[in-house]
Amino acid sequence: MSQNKRFRKPDFLIIGAQKAGTTWLWNKLSQHPGTVLPDEKEIHFFGSSELYGRGPEWYFAKFDGIDDQAVTGEASTTYLSDRPAFFYNEVNKLEYDESLPLLPEMVRTVLPDVKVIVCLRDPVRRAVSAYFHWMRKGKLPVSAGIEKTALNHPRLRLIEMGDYERHLGAWLRVFPREQILILSFEADVISDPRSGLRKLYDFVGLKPDFVPEDEKETVHKSWNWTRIVANYYAGPLRRIVNKQPVAGVLNRHDFLRRFAVSSEDTEYLRKQYLPQKDALREMAGKIVDLWKYGED
C-alpha cells in the first residue's frame, strides 16, 4: 500500500444480518445530510477471499473523494461471519479460506476504529425470508422446501446466515463492545423505527433528531408465495405474470400461503437456532425474547 497517500476509510460497517433491514438502514443513512455514501452498498471486501486479495488500496478507492467531514461506510451482509468465503469457486458448496485470519480480525487490522452495526432478526423468520428471496428468482424448485434447498445449495447460506451465536461471538471477541451497535429488526426497524434511527444516527456521530422521508416504509417489496410459485411455473410467460393486473391480483390474494413453509421445515429451523437463545441473550440482550422461533 502506498506510504504517502492518505486513504479515506469507512467510518462504519453494517455487517448484517441478511434479510434483517440492512437496506432500510442504508437508505435512511443515505438521506441524512451528514453522510456521503459510496455508490456501492455491498462491497464484500472482507467477506470474499478473492476481493480481499485485491488489497486495501482497491477497497479504499471505493471511498475516494468523500469529504473527511462527512460520515461514510458500507453495508455487506457477508461480514456477519467468522471467516471469509470463496465467492467465485465453481463447486456447489460453501468453502472458507482457511489461509486468512478470522474475518473480524481482518477488519480490525485494516479498520481498527470502525463502528460496527448489526441488526438481528428472529433467525427462523430470517431464514424463511431468505428462502423466499431465492425462490423469487425462479431458478430453484419451489417444491423442495427449506431443508432440502439449504442442504442441496449450501452456497445460498440459508442456515449459516442465521448462526448468530458463532458469528456475533467472533466479532465481540475482537472488537470492544462500545464499537458495536446491536439493533433489533422487530423493535428498531418494524415497531419503533424512529427510536431505532436515533440510536443509529447517534452511534455513527450524526445528529440523531433528523427525520428521513418515509421512515416506516420498507425498501424491498416482498412477493407472497402464490406469486413466487406462479413465477416459477410461468416459464416464458413470466413477463405477463409479473405485470399488472396479474401481479396485483397475486399480491392481494396469497392462495397458496399454507404451502409455503411446512411444519417439518419450521421444526428443522427451530432445531438449528433455538439452542442458541440463552447464549445470544448474553451477547445481544433481551431482543432475543421478541423472537417466536417459528411458534407463530
CATH of the domain at 171: 3.40.50.300
How far is the CA of 52 from the CAs of 49, 55, 86, in angstroms? 5, 6, 10
CA–CA distance, 142 with 126 (Å, rounded to integer): 18
Contact of 178 with 291, CB cutoff 8 Å: no
Name residues whose C-beta falls within 8 Å of residue 43's C-beta, 6 or more positions apart in sequence: 51, 59, 62, 74, 76
Query: Residue 1: is its pLDDT beyond 70?
Result: no
Residue 237 located in a structural domain: no
Question: What pTM was computed for the model?
Answer: 0.93
Cα dihedral value 204, 5, 46, 15, nearest 10: 10
Handedness of CA 46, 52, 56, 59 (dihedral sign): negative
Count how many domains the chain has: 1
Residue 235 located in a structural domain: no
Query: Residue 195: is its pLDDT beyond 70?
Result: yes
Q: What are phi and psi of 133, to 5 degrees?
A: -60, -45
Residue 81 located in a structural domain: yes
CA–CA distance, 194 with 230 (Å, rounded to integer): 37
pLDDT of residue 4: 58
Q: What is the mean pLDDT of residues 179-199?
A: 97
Rounded to 10 deg, the angle between the 263-273 and 123-136 helix axes is 130
pLDDT of residue 216: 72
H-helix or E-strand containing 124? helix 123-136
CA–CA distance, 271 with 249 (Å, rounded to integer): 36
| Residue of 24, 210, 243, 194 whose CA lies nearest to 121 | 24
Q: How confident is the model at residue 6 (pLDDT cuts 50, 70, 90)?
A: confident
pLDDT of residue 296: 76
CA–CA distance, 48 with 245 (Å, rounded to integer): 41
Q: Which domain holds residue 97?
A: 12-139+157-219+277-290
Residue 203 located in a structural domain: yes
Contact of 188 with 199, CB cutoff 8 Å: yes
Residue 39 located in a structural domain: yes
Query: Residue 217: is its pLDDT beyond 80?
Result: no
Residue 244 located in a structural domain: no
Contact of 269 with 127, CB cutoff 8 Å: yes
Tally of CB atoms within 10 A around 101: 14
CA–CA distance, 170 with 275 (Å, rounded to integer): 18
Can you read off the three cell numbers belonging to residue 258?
399454507
Tally of CB atoms within 10 A around 93: 9
CA–CA distance, 247 with 227 (Å, rounded to integer): 7
H-helix or E-strand containing 265? helix 263-273
Residue 67 located in a structural domain: yes
Can you read off the three cell numbers belonging to residue 26?
442504508
Any bridge partners for residue 18, and if so which? none
Residue 152 located in a structural domain: no
Indicate the range of 8-17, 131-140, 235-244 predicted with least confidence.
Answer: 235-244
Contact of 121 with 244, CB cutoff 8 Å: no
Contact of 65 with 9, CB cutoff 8 Å: no
Three-class DSSP category at 12: strand
Question: Percentage of residues in the chain with pLDDT exceeding 70?
Answer: 97
